[in-house]
């Protein structure tokens, strides 16, 4: 789908539908909405006075123009209350309006840049948000469905009166396009069923991303993992016939310090292993590779945007299955160059493969690490569907990650890591065990990872809740959400000062 910035007047743009907006409580629309209203002889303000259009957030009303303007329909999308308005709402309403029109069979439309007028937002950022929201909201995963006669949305025109603003709007749209395309790719890979996205397939995907975006790639196979001593990844992979992969993607800039490391949990299917999960809902465990998908996609976008900062992406990838040679509860393994771990639950596998990845990242000398993982059901219980848990050993670095998430609208919430809970994973036979008590499971999982991040500034994002959405809402669609792809890219941009 194309998004083009064009000079002109939205009321005079010849497209099947135009999108304008309205703040809640406004009786007499101004700006572009006002211009369209006047051209329609007051049709919009009449619907407002009849309380059919209220301007509530994400409300869409369709007005037929009966030849009064070149466009056959006007969609009026509600922006909600003006004091609560922000860029994330621009993303949301853009997604909602585009999906609404697509549902009506509209494939070309024109819109104004929501928020750039009386909304008071920076025009370039608002244009980016319109592009991001539209492209994210129109996403659907139909690869394995027999194609239907459905028409794809083809073109959105961003109509701007002020010609001087066009270059900055175009820049914003381009950044939004890169960000949302990366996120949609992450969604695709996370949504793929496990039989279509094995660890080997994931490595192939990463290879393609590297080739398309000028990144270096290295894929470690089992022999290299054995030589290095990646006991966590090898241990989890034991129960599966699919060989594990450890993917290393490198974006090198002339600036070598700081060197950001992005780590993603790549469990292509989590059955729990010998600590088998209940079968109900187990199919959703194909998205246990969401962290990996976000990292690979973010690396691709970073390759396109070329920030002045070196970034390395690390993805340990394996299935977690209960095959005949599977790891058993009570087994002891050794994480790369570090501690021994008594495996109490083979279902707490994410922390084992990430521990190897964190150790590897330290060996590479990466200076700042962010890992993202569908790590614990406990985090989903604690924070619900919308918030990812954020943990750190370095408050200043967490603040940078939180700032990046505020720029993108991905929602993160910092959770504590009290030292007192460390005693929960004391083991009688090994240095530590891989599970704590039932309470605070997201925290003990983070504390486990912290043992392997050691003193390298590190942020852990537990995306167990937000990695999937059970419904369409704003720019989120059903299934994989691609969280936190955009935040990882934004962090790299912000750290590079670009
Ligand atoms: N992949 C799961 C966590 C998960 C659960 C993600 C639900 C998304 C939705 C992880 O590997 C896991 O099974 N964690 C266990 C840890 C426990 C055994 C300490 C959990 O959360 O139950
Ligand atoms: Zn898992
Ligand atoms: Zn598990």
Nearest atom, ligand 1, residue 467 CA = 8
Between the CA of 321 and the centroid of ligand 3 the distance, in Å, is 10
Q: Measured from the CB, is residue 377 less than 6 Å from ligand 1?
A: yes
User: How much is the pLDDT for 177?
Assistant: 98
Q: Measured from the CB, is residue 345 less than 6 Å from ligand 1?
A: yes
Instruction: Report yes or no: 295 and 263 within 8 Å, Cβ to Cβ.
Output: yes
Nearest atom, ligand 1, residue 378 CA = 21
Q: Measured from the CB, is residue 374 less than 6 Å from ligand 1?
A: yes
Q: Structure tokens of 328?
A: 């058993």
> Of the listed 108, 277, 422, 478, which one is catalytic?
277
Nearest atom, ligand 1, residue 379 CA = 21
Cα separation of the two ends of the chain = 27
Q: Measured from the CB, is residue 435 less than 6 Å from ligand 1?
A: yes
- Beta-strand runs (E) in 65-189: 73-80, 108-111, 155-160
User: How much is the pLDDT for 434?
Assistant: 98
CA atoms of 458 and 460, how far apart (whole Å)? 7
Query: Could you write out the DSSP letters of every residue in 160-192?
Result: ES-GGGHHHHHHHHHHHHHHHHHHHHHHHHHHS
Mutate to test the pocket of ligand 1, among 375, 388, 441 (most ligand atoms within 8 A of CB): 375
Protein residue closest via CA to atom 7 of ligand 1: 377
> Of the listed 73, 102, 177, 351, which one is catalytic?
351
User: How much is the pLDDT for 474?
Assistant: 97
Q: What is the pLDDT along the chain (498 residues), one digit of tens a residue?
A: 999 999 999 999 999 999 999 999 999 999 999 999 999 999 999 999 999 999 999 999 999 999 999 999 999 999 999 999 999 999 999 999 999 999 999 999 999 999 998 889 999 999 999 999 999 999 999 999 998 877 889 999 999 999 999 999 999 999 999 999 999 999 999 999 999 999 999 999 999 999 999 999 999 999 999 999 999 999 999 999 999 999 999 999 998 899 999 999 999 999 999 999 999 999 999 999 999 999 999 999 999 999 999 999 999 999 999 999 999 999 999 999 999 999 999 999 999 999 999 999 999 999 999 999 999 999 999 999 999 999 999 999 999 999 999 999 999 999 999 999 999 999 999 999 999 999 999 999 999 999 999 999 999 999 999 999 999 999 999 999 999 999 999 999 999 998
Closest of 361, 358, 375, 372 to residue 434, by C-alpha = 375
CA atoms of 357 and 42, how far apart (whole Å)? 62
316 bridge partner residues: 246
- At which residue do the structure tokens 């809740």 appear? 465
Predicted model pTM: 0.98
Between the CA of 267 and the centroid of ligand 3 the distance, in Å, is 9
User: How much is the pLDDT for 371?
Assistant: 99
Q: Measured from the CB, is residue 464 less than 6 Å from ligand 1?
A: yes
Q: Assess whether 171 carries a catalytic annotation.
A: no
Between the CA of 121 and the centroid of ligand 1 the distance, in Å, is 40
Q: Structure tokens of 160?
A: 């701007």
CA atoms of 190 and 467, how far apart (whole Å)? 9
- At which residue do the structure tokens 């244009």 appear? 127
Q: Measured from the CB, is residue 320 less than 6 Å from ligand 1?
A: no
| Distance from the Cα of residue 256 to its chain's centroid | 26
Give burial (CB, 10 Å; 0-12/13-18/19+) of 363: exposed
How many beta carbons lie within 10 A of that of residue 480, not counting itself? 28
Q: List C-alpha distances in Å: 96 to 78, 92, 130.
A: 10, 6, 11
Q: Measured from the CB, is residue 288 less than 6 Å from ligand 1?
A: yes
Q: Measured from the CB, is residue 303 less than 6 Å from ligand 1?
A: no
CA atoms of 8 and 12, how far apart (whole Å)? 8
Nearest ligand to the CA of 376 is 1
User: How much is the pLDDT for 256?
Assistant: 86
Nearest atom, ligand 1, residue 350 CA = 11
Mutate to test the pocket of ligand 1, among 329, 376, 446 (most ligand atoms within 8 A of CB): 376
| Distance from the Cα of residue 36 to its chain's centroid | 36
Instruction: Report yes or no: 65 and 72 within 8 Å, Cβ to Cβ.
Output: yes
Q: Measured from the CB, is residue 378 less than 6 Å from ligand 1?
A: yes
CA atoms of 424 and 432, how far apart (whole Å)? 9
Instruction: Report yes or no: 263 and 338 within 8 Å, Cβ to Cβ.
Output: no
Q: Assess whether 104 carries a catalytic annotation.
A: no
Instruction: Output DSSP code: residue 322.
Output: -
Nearest ligand to the CA of 377 is 1
Between the CA of 244 and the centroid of ligand 2 the distance, in Å, is 15
Instruction: Report yes or no: 292 and 315 within 8 Å, Cβ to Cβ.
Output: yes
Nearest atom, ligand 1, residue 434 CA = 19
User: How much is the pLDDT for 149?
Assistant: 75
DSSP element (H, E) containing 198: none
Protein residue closest via CA to atom 8 of ligand 1: 464
Instruction: Report yes or no: 381 and 389 within 8 Å, Cβ to Cβ.
Output: no
């Amino acid at each position: 789908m194309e998004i083009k910035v064009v000079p002109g007047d939205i009321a005079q743009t010849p497209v099947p539908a135009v999108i304008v907006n309205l703040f809640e409580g406004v009786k007499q629309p101004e700006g572009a909405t006002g211009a369209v209203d006047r051209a329609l002889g007051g049709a919009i303000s009449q619907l407002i006075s009849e309380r059919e259009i209220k301007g509530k957030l994400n409300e869409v009303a369709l007005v037929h123009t009966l030849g009064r303007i070149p466009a056959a329909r006007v969609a009026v999308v509600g922006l909600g209350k003006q004091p609560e308005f922000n860029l994330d709402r621009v993303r949301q309403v853009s997604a909602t309006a585009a999906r609404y029109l697509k549902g009506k069979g509209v494939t070309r439309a024109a819109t104004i840049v929501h928020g750039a007028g009386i909304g008071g937002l920076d025009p370039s950022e608002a244009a980016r948000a319109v592009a991001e929201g539209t492209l994210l909201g129109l996403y659907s995963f139909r690869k394995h469905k027999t194609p239907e006669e459905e028409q794809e949305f083809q073109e959105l025109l961003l109509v701007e009166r002020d010609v001087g603003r066009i270059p900055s709007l175009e820049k914003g749209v381009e950044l939004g396009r890169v960000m949302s395309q990366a996120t949609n790719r992450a969604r695709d890979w996370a949504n793929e069923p496990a039989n279509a996205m094995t660890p080997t397939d994931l490595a192939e995907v990463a290879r393609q991303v590297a080739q398309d975006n000028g990144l270096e790639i290295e894929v470690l196979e089992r022999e290299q993992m054995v030589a290095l001593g990646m006991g966590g990844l090898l241990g989890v992979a034991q129960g599966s016939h699919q060989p594990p992969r450890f993917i290393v993607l490198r974006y090198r800039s002339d600036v070598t310090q700081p060197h950001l490391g992005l780590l993603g949990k790549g469990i292509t299917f989590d059955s729990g292993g010998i600590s088998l999960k209940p079968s109900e809902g187990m199919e959703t465990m194909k998205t246990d590779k969401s962290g990996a998908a976000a990292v690979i996609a973010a690396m691709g976008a970073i390759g396109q945007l070329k920030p002045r900062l070196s970034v390395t992406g690390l993805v340990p990838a394996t299935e977690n299955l209960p095959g005949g040679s599977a790891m058993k509860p009570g087994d002891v393994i050794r994480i790369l160059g570090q501690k021994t771990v008594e495996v109490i639950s083979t279902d707490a596998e994410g922390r084992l493969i990430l521990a190897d990845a964190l150790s590897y990242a330290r060996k590479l000398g990466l200076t700042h690490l962010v890992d993202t993982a569908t790590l614990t059901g406990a985090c989903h219980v604690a924070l619900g569907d919308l918030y990812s848990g954020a943990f750190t050993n370095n408050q200043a670095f967490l603040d940078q990650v939180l700032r990046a998430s505020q720029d993108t609208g991905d929602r993160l919430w910092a959770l504590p890591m009290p030292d007192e809970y460390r005693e929960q994973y004391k083991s009688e036979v090994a240095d530590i065990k891989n599970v704590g008590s039932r309470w605070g499971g997201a925290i003990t999982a983070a504390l486990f990872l912290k043992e392997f991040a050691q003193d390298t500034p590190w942020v852990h994002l537990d995306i167990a809740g937000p990695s999937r959405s059970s419904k369409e809402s704003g720019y989120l669609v059903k299934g994989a959400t691609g969280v936190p792809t955009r935040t990882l890219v934004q962090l790299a941009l912000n750290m590079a000062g670009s």
